Structure 1
Amino acid sequence: MSWIGFHGRSAGIAKALGIRSEFITGGTGPAPLRYLRAWRETARLLKRERPSTVIVMQPPIVALLCVAFRTPRSVRIIGDLHTGVFTNPKWKWALALTMRILRRRGSAVVTGAALAERTRAYGVDVLELHDIIDEPIVVSDAPDDPKLATVLEREYVLVPLAYSFDEPVDALLTAAEAAPEVNWVLTGRAPEHVVTRAPENVVFPGFVSRDDYRRLVKSATVMAALTTQEDTMQRVGYEALGEGKALVTSSTAVLREFFADAALYVTPDALSIEKQVREAVRTAQLLRQRMIARRAELEQTQQTQLAALAAVAS
């Protein structure tokens, strides 16, 4: 259960476990109105399906509260805790409440050891599970958005962004300005001040369709997954892993441990990003080979993690 239009981690976990994935948005408009609609839709779904276990993506805390209030106490609730539960100023106020519900009603799943330790400190049973390593999905070459055709023909660095508090967007734009020979593609709904500030070698395709996003990943020379926060795994990094792409990511302990020598690492400043992106473009073939080898290593660990989660969820 995910209160979002789509999320690769949620879909991947559901597919691997052979269970349904439900994505509920609540439509458009102010957050309180969206959450009210999502609550009603979730309540109807739970009443109709009567599940024995529900895995709930977190945040938002409202989704967890809905499942807790609208199911009998016999229903097990597993919180899939994203890093924002712990670090995002928008949601970390609800951390204690999140843990109290999961301690009473079920357990949690997180991406790594650091978040697992923080979760256990609240007395919550927890399993570690990184995002499911997906096999590359082949889609036709013709993009849904015709404007992407010229982008896909060139070499480029793909930087998927949510324009969140933990993304070094200013440093990224300065790095792009300092490396004019590199084409940079920044997806997501970019704020107007970001678009205005960007140099000419930065393309903003906006929020693209799922198939067009796959095309962008498939054709990218390098992918970049950047955060200023420790203990934060990057969905973009998992996508680079699945596709076997050269990756530039942040120099945090959790990312270095996960990707090992299969990625290049940066501090969240313009000079570091510029230097490592240029190096990744130059050595893209070598980095792709390392990423494919790393994927094979991690797939073995993932099967064990999935078996543990399946046992808990059954």
Structure 2
Amino acid sequence: MQEIKMIWISWEHHRRTIEICRKLDIPLHEIVIDRSRIIRIVISSLITLRIINRIRPCVLITQNPSYFLNIWAVVLKIFYKFELIVDQHNEGVIPYNYTQYFYKRACRLIQRHADLNIVTNKFLKSIIDNNDGKAITLFDRIPEFPVKNKIPLPDVFNIVFVCTYSPDEPYENVIEAVAKSRDNLRLHVTGNYKKARGRIDTNKYVNVTFTGFMAEQDYIDLLYSCDAIIDLTTRDNCLVCGAYEAVALGKPLITSDTIALRELFYKGALFTDNSKETITECINDLLIKYELLCRDIKMLKRELNDMWEIQYSKVADRIKELCESHSKK
């Protein structure tokens, strides 16, 4: 699609965005500013304006969140007359971390003014349809990790718990379940554990390693070297990133028992209601069924890659229609 004047702007780093841009063969402009919130918004807005003014795209694709990026894109659309496509993450459709009235109104405004909204599942599509927006589904592409290295881990069964210490992650239950589990397990908890200060004593657990925030390559190497992956959420319609990463690397998965996760990760995964008891049961089943789960997750990767190509072709057709419509204006 490179002949089409199309760009993607994001104010956050996200693997989904990188993978879709790679497939579309379009430039990605990541504007990630490490400053206080107000300064970050101002600087990012100015850089966004400069990029759009210089390139004058016929199609702009944005990632939501950030809400402020997308409100700004809606405003700039009036003056620069581009077609606006918004890749709507869960938080962009149903605010969870930001529940104030402003964010809910902003979500609906962005959904209605976008020429196309891309979402990961049919439930999120139905919400945007009900808000008078135009939506199409495309789950995350199974990521590619061209560089991955085996690193030394303890000589036991190693599980990585993909964690950011967000409010929707039942991390205390996972840690307690493993801490009271078998001696031949080691849990590696990713993410900045300082966010959970006061809730977790990182020195308390002999079979739990808190990695802290990791550089991306170190994180990939850890996932590649472990035996299985856990990624949980209390959000009903969230397709967690760690599940895609487990499929990409052929690692059996424990994830939350939601319709959205069950429908997509239907092989090579075990499902928990996020309680300590069922997490423990899943870990026990994982150890018993490990070889079978390894085979199934590799089969799932092939099947999801085929399914993604079908969904992607429909999205590409819609984007082509928008470009043709733009050229006639």
- TM-score for the superposition, normalised by structure 2: 0.86
Tell me the equivalent position of 2:96: 88
- Asked whether the equivalents of residues 53 and 77 of structure 1 are also in contact (C-alpha less than 8 Å), the reply is yes
Letter in 2 for 1:199: Y
- Deviations along 1:160-186, one digit per CA (max 9) or x if unpaired, are 111111100121121122115211111
Taking the TM superposition and a 5 Å limit, the aligned residue runs for 1:1-314 are 1-4=9-12, 6-28=13-35, 30-71=36-77, 72=79, 74-85=81-92, 86-90=94-98, 93=101, 94-141=103-150, 150-151=152-153, 155-181=157-183, 182-191=185-194, 192-196=197-201, 198-314=204-320
Q: 2:162, 2:181 → 1: CA distance? A: 18
Deviations 1:122-147 (A, max 9, x none): 11111100101134433344xxxxxx
For 1:260, what is the secondary structure of its paired residue? coil
Per-residue deviation at 1:309?
A: 1.7
For the residues of structure 2 that align with 1:32 and 1:153, how far apart are their CA atoms?
47
Aligned to 1:145: none
Amino acid at match of 1:231: N
Equivalent position amino acid for 2:158 in 1:
Y
2:326 match: none
Shift in Å at residue 11 of structure 1?
Answer: 0.4
CA contact (8 A) 1:51 1:75 kept: yes
Once structures 1 and 2 are overlaid, which stretch shifts more, 130-139 or 12-21?
130-139
Unaligned 5+ segments in structure 2 are 1-8, 321-329
Looking at structure 1, the residues matched to 34 and 107 of structure 2 have their Cα atoms a distance apart, in angstroms, of 24
Q: How far is 1:153 from its partner?
A: 6.4
* Residue deviations 1:43-65 (CA, integer Å, cap 9, x gap): 22222222221221111210102
The Cα of 1:152 is off from its aligned counterpart by 7.0
SS at the partner of 1:183? strand
Q: How many residues align?
A: 305
> Can you list the C-alpha shifts for 1:203-254, whole angstroms capped at 9, x where unaligned?
1111111111110111111101101110111011011111111000000011
> Which whole-Å CA distance do the structure 2 matches of 1:199 and 1:106 have between them?
50
CA distance in 2, matches of 1:154, 1:20: 43
- Is the contact made by 1:230 and 1:253 (CA closer than 8 Å) also made in structure 2? yes
Q: Quick one: structure 1 residues 281 and 57, their matched pair in 2 at CA, closer, same or farther if it must change by over 3 Å?
A: farther
- C-alpha distance in 1, partners of 2:30/2:154? 29
Residues 17, 306 of structure 1: 8 Å contact kept: no
Amino acid at match of 2:119: V
- Structure 1: unaligned runs, 5 residues or longer: 142-148
Distance 2:288 2:40 in 1: 46
Judging changes above 3 Å, is the alpha-carbon distance between structure 1 residues 122 and 152 closer, same or farther for their aligned structure 2 residues? farther
If the length of structure 1 is used for normalisation, what is the TM-score?
0.90
Find the structure with the greater CA-based Rg. 2
Contact 2:111 2:128 in 1 (8 A): no
Query: How far apart, in 1, do the equivalents of 2:154 and 2:19 lie?
Result: 26
In structure 2, relative to structure 1, the CA distance for the partners of 1:91 and 1:8 (3 Å cut) is farther
Identity %: 23
TM-align CA RMSD: 2.0
CA distance 1:92–1:251, shift in 2 (3 Å) = farther
Q: How far does residue 294 in structure 1 lie from its aligned partner after superposition? A: 1.5
Cα 1:92–1:262 shift into 2, 3 Å: farther
Q: Could you say if the C-alpha distance between residues 34 and 180 of structure 1 is closer, same or farther in structure 2, counting changes exceeding 3 Å? A: farther
Alpha-carbon separation, structure 2, partners of 1:65 and 1:162: 26
| Paired letter, 1:101 | I
The AA in structure 1 aligned to 2:15 is: G
Query: Aligned partners of 1:27, 1:135: CA distance in 2, in Å?
Result: 27
1:144 corresponds in structure 2 to: none
Measured in 1, the distance between the counterparts of 2:15 and 2:100 equals 23
